[in-house]
């Protein structure tokens, strides 16, 4: 069996190779992919990959004995023989499903993790902003990107390290100081499943320099026949997005996970917020048979504002896990988090939200709420809101609710002339609307509202 470059490197760094055998095939796949280099990144990108491989080799494959993976079984990743997803393209009609009219000229597309310039168009975007892939970045900026790429992911879980080990191409969104961009920027990662299970990686870095403002739509979908919910092809997408919101900058971030119905997504999003910055996220998890989104946010300066809104909607045999960790480290930080789950069929949704308020994060105002709506007797919810407070002058609340549609609510609507079916739908749509209404891009909002309605048709 041949030994790859990084295994040699690992062996050199460490006399005993500790690689968990169940991680070896995934690591080998990651390393197989040829990275997109350019003049500014050639040197450090190889180092990122080697370091990532090194970290993978010192970690174990997560099992249900690990607290962070206690209720989410990812053993399918170990048991499945994945091949590297092809460097391929899609038909232009396959793009139509994902295209948004508002972002026709402010969009970058990646297919199986690799930049697809033929579908990307950034002509509507102003100067002072780079939106593209790693290769298109100037040598100077690419050299500077070493200060960002992997600087957060290196502290995350084994899947983030796996992504580091296999970085091939990177979506880069980089706004100069004081550049305010109202135009939403669509970062579209399209997977192309095959009959045999394939693995792919998606990577994104977004940097809002001080005083700048960005609206990002990060979208994960699968190019399939018909509605991707019903697709039968197993694949694995390992995603990492690192976000920097510099002093007094703002990012409105929408993250939509709409992988194919038999796909698996393990995603990491890490956000570093500087003083006086504002970060607003709306995440929607609808696709994939198994999905996990781990969000790690650090408030690295005072007066930092964080708003996190999430909607998970699962049915059938789906499992969707959202783990968030918000670390406040400075005074006057605010966190407003609302995560809602609609769970139907035999599906399972998991929410674990941690907010850490250490001693120096005084005058913090943190609110976290997880609300769950169960639509079937077999649906299952695991929720764990966690507040860790050491500071003594703070205002913090957290909570979780699990409910079904109330008979009295349905009767109220029926007594106004709505039939039972319409009444149920109105209530489900309303539950989702509280999150979806925070998405200020009308065609995206409408599309998601329709998906919610379509999925609850009996």
Partner 1 sequence: MSDVILSIKNLTANVDGQPILKGVDLEIKAGEIHAIMGRNGSGKSTLSKIIAGHPEYEVTGGEIIYKGENLLEKEAEERALDGIFLAFQYPLEIPGVSNLDFLRVAYNAQLKHLGKEEIDEFDFEDLIEAKLEVVKMNPSFLGRSLNEGFSGGEKKRNEILQMALLEPSLGILDEIDSGLDIDALRIVSEGVNQLAHPENAFLLITHYQRLLDYITPQFVHVMYDGRIVKSGGKELALELEETGYDFLDEKVAAGVA
Q: How far is CA 214 from the centre of its chain?
A: 17
CB nearer to partner 1: pick between 155 and 419: 419
Cβ of residue 427: shortest distance to partner 1, in angstroms? 7
Buried b (16+ CB within 10 A) or exposed e, 368-395: bbbbbbbbeeebebebebebebebeebe
| CB nearer partner 1, residue 391 or residue 405 | 405
CB of 431 to partner 1, least distance (A): 6
323: number of CA atoms within 13 Å, CB side? Answer: 17
State how far the Cα of 278 lies from the Cα of 263, in Å rounded to an integer: 33
Q: How far is the CB of 408 from partner 1 (least distance, A)?
A: 6
Q: How far is the CB of 414 from partner 1 (least distance, A)?
A: 4
Q: How many CA atoms lie within 13 A of 132 on its CB side?
A: 16
Query: For residue 118, what is the DSSP state?
Result: G
Distance CA 448, CA 219 (A): 12
User: Cα dihedral angle (159, 161, 162, 163), rounded to 10 degrees?
Assistant: 90
Beta strands per DSSP E along 36-170: 83-84, 107-111, 114-115, 129-133
**Shortest distance (Å) from residue 389 CB to partner 1:** 28
What minimum distance in Å lies between the beta carbon of 416 and partner 1? 4
Which residue, 387 or 410, is less far from partner 1 as judged by CB? 410
Cα angle 145, 149, 150 (rounded to 5 degrees) comes to: 150
* Closer CB to partner 1, 141 or 427, in the complex: 427
**Measured from the CB atom, is 8 or 437 closer to partner 1?**
437
Nearest CA to 322 out of 351, 291, 343 is that of: 351
Cβ 432 to partner 1 shortest distance, Å: 8
Please identify, using beta-carbon distances, which residue of 96 and 408 lies nearer to partner 1. Answer: 408
* Distant-in-sequence, close-in-space partners of 352: CB < 8 Å, separation ≥ 6: 68, 321, 322, 323, 324, 383, 384, 386
Instruction: Let me know how long the chain is.
Output: 458
User: Least distance (Å) from partner 1 to the CB of residue 172?
Assistant: 37
Minimum Å gap between C-beta 406 and partner 1 is 8
- Alpha carbon dihedral 448, 451, 455, 458, in 10-degree steps, equals 120
Cα(first)–Cα(last) distance of the chain, in Å? 52
CB closer to partner 1, 146 vs 426 = 426
For 398, half-sphere exposure in the C-beta direction (CA atoms, 13 angstrom radius) is 18
Please identify, using beta-carbon distances, which residue of 328 and 423 lies nearer to partner 1: 423
Q: Which long-range contacts (CB under 8 A, 24 or more apart) does 126-130 make?
A: 126/179, 126/181, 126/183, 128/175, 128/176, 128/179, 129/173, 129/174, 129/175, 129/176, 129/179, 129/181, 130/172, 130/173, 130/174
Per the CB < 8 A criterion, the answer to whether 285 and 257 are in contact is yes
Q: What is the CA radius of gyration of the chain?
A: 22
Residue closer to partner 1, measured from CB, 359 or 446: 446
CA separation for the pair 280, 392 (Å, rounded): 26
Tally of helices (H runs) and strands (E runs) in the chain: 10, 20
CB of 378 or CB of 414, closer to partner 1: 414
CB-wise, 93 or 416, nearer to partner 1?
416
Q: Which residues pair with 190 in a beta bridge?
A: 111, 221
- Minimum distance of partner 1 from residue 279's CB (angstroms): 24
Of 226 and 417, the one with the shorter C-beta distance to partner 1 is 417
Binding footprint of partner 1 on the chain (CB under 8 A): 406-409, 411-420, 422, 426-427, 429-434, 437
Measured from the CB of residue 415, what is the shortest distance to partner 1 in angstroms? 5
Q: How far is the CB of 212 from partner 1 (least distance, A)?
A: 33
């Amino acid at each position: 069996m041949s030994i790859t470059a990084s295994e040699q490197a690992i062996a050199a760094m460490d006399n005993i190779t500790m690689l968990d055998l169940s991680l070896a095939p995934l690591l080998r796949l990651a390393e197989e992919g040829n990275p997109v280099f350019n003049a500014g990144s050639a040197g450090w990108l190889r180092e990122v990959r080697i370091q990532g491989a090194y970290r993978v080799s010192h970690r174990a494959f997560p099992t249900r004995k690990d607290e962070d993976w206690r209720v989410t079984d990812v053993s399918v990743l170990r048991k499945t023989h994945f091949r590297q997803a092809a460097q391929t393209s899609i038909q232009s009609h396959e793009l139509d499903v994902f295209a948004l009219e508002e972002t026709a000229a402010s969009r970058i597309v990646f297919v199986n993790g690799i930049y697809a310039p033929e579908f990307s168009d950034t002509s509507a975007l102003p100067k002072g902003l780079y939106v593209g892939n790693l290769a298109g970045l100037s040598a100077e900026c690419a050299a500077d990107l070493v200060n960002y790429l992997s600087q957060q992911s290196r502290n995350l879980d084994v899947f983030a390290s796996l992504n580091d080990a296999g970085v091939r191409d990177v979506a880069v969104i980089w706004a100069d100081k004081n550049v305010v961009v109202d135009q939403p920027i669509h970062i579209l990662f399209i997977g192309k499943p095959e009959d045999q299970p394939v693995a792919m990686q998606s990577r994104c870095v977004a940097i809002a320099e001080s005083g700048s403002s960005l609206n990002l739509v990060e979208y994960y979908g699968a190019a399939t026949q018909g509605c991707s919910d019903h697709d039968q092809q197993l694949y694995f997408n390992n995603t990492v997005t690192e976000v920097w919101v510099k002093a007094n900058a703002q990012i409105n971030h929408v993250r939509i996970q709409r992988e194919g119905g038999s796909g698996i997504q393990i995603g990491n999003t890490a956000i570093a917020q500087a003083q006086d910055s504002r970060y607003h996220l709306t995440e929607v998890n609808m696709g994939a048979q198994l999905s996990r989104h781990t969000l790690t946010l650090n408030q690295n300066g005072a007066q930092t504002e964080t708003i996190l809104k999430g909607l998970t909607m699962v049915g059938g045999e789906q499992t969707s896990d959202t783990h968030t960790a918000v670390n406040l480290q400075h005074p006057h930080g605010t966190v407003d988090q609302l995560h809602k789950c609609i769970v139907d069929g035999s599906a399972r949704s998991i929410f674990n939200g941690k907010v850490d308020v250490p001693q120096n994060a005084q005058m913090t105002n943190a609110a976290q709420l997880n609300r769950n709506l169960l639509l079937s007797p077999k649906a299952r919810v695991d929720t764990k809101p966690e507040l860790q407070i050491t500071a003594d002058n703070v205002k913090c609340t957290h909570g979780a609710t699990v409910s079904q549609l109330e008979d009295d609510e349905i009767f109220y609507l029926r007594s106004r002339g709505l039939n039972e079916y319409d009444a149920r739908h109105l209530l489900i749509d309303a539950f989702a609307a509280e999150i979806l209404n925070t998405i200020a891009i009308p065609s995206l909002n409408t599309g998601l509202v329709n998906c919610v309605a379509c999925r609850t048709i009996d």
